[in-house]
Amino acid sequence: MNATKWKLSTLTSLTCLALCLTFTQAARGAEASDPLAAKQTYLGPTGMTKAWDISKGAGGVTIAIVDTGVDLNHPDLKGNLVPGVNLIQPGQPPADDNGHGTNVAGIIGAAGGNDKGIAGMLWQARIMPVKALEADGSGGETMLGEGIRYAVDHGAKIVVLSLGLNKYSDYLSEIVKYAESKDVLLVAATGNEGNRVKYPAAYPTVLAVGGMTAGGAVDTRSNTGPEVDVVAPWNVFTTALGGSYEAKDGTSMAAPQVAAAAALLWERYPQMKAHQIRQWVRQTAQDLGPAGWDPGTGYGLLRVDRLLSERIAEDMYEPNDRKDQAKTVSNAKSVTASFASGTDADWYVIDAQYDGTVSLSFAMDSSMTVSAQHTDASGVLSAKTVQGGGAVTFPVSKGRSYVQLQLKDRGQAEAVPYRMTTSFEIYRDAFEDNDRQFKASVLPSRTLTVKGTFHQTGDTDWYEFPVPESGSMRIRLTSDTARIDPVLLVQKQGEKSVTVDYGDDGAEEGYELTEVFPGSYYIRVTNVKEYANAVVGEYTLKIEYDAKLADPNEPNNKSYQATVVSLDTPYTGLLDKPNETDWFQFRVEQESRVGIGLTDIPAGVSLYMHLYDGSMRSIASSMNEQGSAVQSLTGRLEPGTYYVKLTSSVPFDNRMYELTVEAKPLLGGYTDVSGHWAQSAILTLSGRGVINGYEDYLFQPDRPITRAEATAVLTRAYGLTKEKEIAYSDLGSGHWAYTYIARAAQAGIIEGYPDRTFAPDQPVSRMEMTAMLARGAGMSGKRRGAVPFTDVDESYWGTGLLKQMKAEGLIGGYADGTFRPDQQATRAEFVQLLAGMLK
């Protein structure tokens, strides 16, 4: 079920709440003499009263309120109004017949110091009422777009949008881009459902404003996500219809506070661009959550006093020259930064809620080329270049990833500003392509849970559920975002379908079949038609199927009856009789890391798993934890035949367990080095104890090697024993690599940074790797001759070492003649180079 109109009620509660907002961080400044000013406690936390000591008005900046209109005769507003438009009733004045627009107008521009009512943030203002919503607060998407366009075309510099919808719109996206092209700042409320940020706040160039509580935290009802820029107080006291005043709350009331603050700033600096105003608001916000940007409070609480008194930074993210200094940015916003020179590296952190792809587009001098290196949450490194005005895309895994940006021209002497717009596309789910019924993804005939995505416009997901035995079936469809309004269709093959769509945005849909018969049942999952665009979010389809079950492996109650298992293949079974035993047999052809997994264990059942070798000698055993539906056994096994015995605490016949045996061959104790180009070096140095792997028999050869890891490897390789007293602010004596670093420092192989940090987790570049290995071998780098690589010259600090190492056949470059000294070195590269030097 879907509401296709924009609604104010989703962004502001109509309940009048008492105000108790106090903040000690913002000093008191000028006070208004207006009789109800004492009720405007929300002005304190943002430093508004202190900002009045600097400026009280913005008579040169027109602010359009696209809303329900404004009370045109309100004594506290009419002096600050300029002509607007009524798009609902053309030819009529934009009078408010709801009250919401009047609430918004009072926050911005109720006349101050006039001995009437309250004082708006701007005592003198130019407010343009644009009535684009009906009396009940609803309105069409087209009307909203026309309202924004009218404001832009009639001189507004700022447009306030205290409304929202979960639906992405190509039409409205183009309107937003039009406003940006005309240098008009859009400010919008995030919404009040405790869900995802609504549109238009979610578009990348719109300043998205959430709501803050009296306690200084984001209100639990305020929508959050990667689009949030800042927050402002949730509760206000403002103008109301009929010349009156009232308490209001919601992000609808927070957004106009940011718009008014931006107007004060633009009045003082009229030469500024809209994107600079946005960044200045972010820069001066008071951090409330984790350090830096976060999806709850964005960059923090609006601080108008700072906005008017602090200078704008060329790059608010500095210092971010190293990975350990990386600054968090949203994956769905446009931000401004700068390269101080060609040697300046900018590191950013991007947190992805899902697997997918992140795109970075750069608005900057088109003659400049940016080198971008991305390391995702799983440690996979990729490097690309992008010309100014272009975009680059990286695949990302769910979790934290890092991006390093640097000008390709390292010799660039002047600063190069840039605007970076980030965007995220969710992964294509594992069941695609299943957009047609005849392409339906066939599911196992058991109770299961499926996670899917709408990764592209018009995505439709079909599933086929074969029912082998008569029984019952319950289907539930949920989503993790209100941007999905799920629709469920169920159809038995050859029969009439049933469509289920009773809930609103994000609400669960469900259907129960008390009796199902053998045959195929088709299940279709879609987003409601009006929301057919790609969505960043997941849906969950849960199918509960109860049937009279039969164990397909019987008889396997004795070891000599054991079911022979093929590796990496799931086997289902039952233990439906008292004291029943199920036996399985598998064979390992070479030394392997073997994992035996049991899933779908019924609730209330303890399942025991015992592993035996070919001589029936017990090797290991396990039992699932109470309430857990899974358990596993993992370890290293020699070639041979093995047996698995399963027993249960109680019989069960309503659900099949699933057994899977996986075997990954080991080479040198690792599952991921066989066939790798550095295999020989890895096995040699690993066998000598110079370098170690990670848990679960992994070496991770293509993972970037850190300064701490590289130092430990060199210390072991050269048998260093003498230690130097070291003191770094980020390296305590309890760090695992402390002793290795102290020994390497004594040998002169490595040193810290001028700021007295060591950055142990910072990846090592290819040049740093070369220098560390050269120092360990006592090389001075004094060899003369031609520069061996095309991307370094005589002035580069490591050229001497590169000449010597290349001349002695210890290093090589890439096929294009480059060395790529600033690219991160992998564990395989480090080991390969070290092995060559130790020969």
Residues recognised as catalytic: 67, 100, 252
- To the nearest 10 degrees (0 to 180), the angle between helices 827-837 and 707-717 is 20
Distances (CA, A) of 532 to 3, 285, 461, 529: 14, 36, 12, 5
Encoding tokens for residue 292? 């830096």
Residues 6+ apart with CB under 8 A from 260: 58, 63, 107, 108, 109, 120, 121, 122, 125
Identify any residues that bridge with 511 across adjacent strands, giving them in sequence order. Answer: 475
Cα–chain-centroid distance for residue 774? 40
Distances (CA, A) of 565 to 62, 371, 562, 642, 646: 74, 50, 9, 10, 14
DSSP structural state of residue 667: B
Identify the burial level of 839 via C-beta atoms within 10 angstroms of its C-beta, where 0-12 means exposed, 13-18 middle and 19 or more buried.
Answer: exposed
Please name the amino acid found at residue 390. G
The Cα angle at residue 188 between residues 160 and 214, in degrees rounded to 5: 105
Question: Considering only CA atoms, which of 302, 299, 312, 230 is closest in space to residue 269?
Answer: 312
Encoding tokens for residue 400? 């934290």
Place of tokens 């055993």: 621
Beta strand 460-467 with 441-442: parallel, antiparallel or unpaired?
parallel
DSSP structural state of residue 786: -
CA dihedral 195, 198, 201, 202 (to 10 degrees): 80
Q: Report CA Rg, the chain.
A: 32
Cis upstream peptide for 204 (omega within 30°):
no
3-state secondary structure of 393: strand
* Edge-to-edge strand ranges of the sheet holding 607-613: 563-564, 582-588, 640-648, 607-613, 618-623
* Edge-to-edge strand ranges of the sheet holding 471-479: 448-452, 539-547, 471-479, 509-516
CA distance 530 to 483: 11
3-state secondary structure of 93: coil
CB contact at 8 A, 472 and 521: no
Q: Where are the beta strands (DSSP E) in 508-581?
A: 509-516, 519-527, 539-547, 563-564, 571-575
DSSP structural state of residue 324: G
Distances (CA, A) of 83 to 79, 95, 133: 12, 11, 17
3-state secondary structure of 281: helix
Encoding tokens for residue 386? 């992008």
Question: Considering only CA atoms, which of 10, 34, 48 is closest in space to residue 245?
Answer: 34
Cβ atoms < 10 Å from Cβ of 429: 19
CA distance 370 to 346: 11
Cα–chain-centroid distance for residue 813? 36
Encoding tokens for residue 622? 């396990």
CA distance 508 to 478: 5
Encoding tokens for residue 17? 């709440």
CB contact at 8 A, 74 and 243: yes
Encoding tokens for residue 462? 């079909």
CA distance 458 to 823: 40
* Edge-to-edge strand ranges of the sheet holding 381-387: 327-328, 345-352, 399-407, 369-375, 381-387
